[in-house]
Amino acid sequence: MINSLQKLSDAKVLTDAQIAVQVKLWKDNGEKIVFTNGCFDLIHVGHISYMLEAASLGTKLIVGLNSDQSVKKLKGESRPVNTQENRAILLASLFFVDAVVVFEEETPLNLITTIMPDVLTKGGDYEVRNVVGSKEVLANGGEVKLIDFIKGYSSTLFIEKLSK
């Protein structure tokens, strides 16, 4: 089982340099690249629904994953619950996720400008003008899509329930 997880991780969890090469190959083949990002600390049905809809907007879905340090800065010292390696493997195991890239910064702007996706997605609680990378993607002829969340699903809510 461990060997299978490692093979999956090696195949789909990519570095910045690896994703740049892969995206070029995909674009040269006419693939439509979709990008989303998040902490994905405790993967739940809301995440799955969101990413499945994002994947349906193109032919390749890349997930930018906040590193452990990035999550701590955003969510506090008690987070993440799962390590970035575990979160990356879980995301990579989803059939509709084509690549996972861990980023160290608080935002994925550098990763977005490297990938320059055709479609940038974020949750429906954002406005397009507030989505990191939206200006760059729109200026490059891409689009930004907001995807509604399923109410009642949140890693933070689940963690709060578990701590009671």
Answer whether residue 155 shows pLDDT above 60.
no
* pLDDT, tens digit (0-9, with 9 covering 90-100), for 15-30: 999 999 999 999 999 9
| 102 vs 112: CA distance, rounded Å | 12
Which of 30-39, 41-50, 124-133 holds the top average pLDDT? 30-39
Domain limits for position 101: 2-162
Specify the CATH number for the domain of residue 98: 3.40.50.620
By the 8 A CB rule, do 40 and 6 touch?
no
| 35 vs 90: CA distance, rounded Å | 17
| Domain count of the fold of the chain | 1
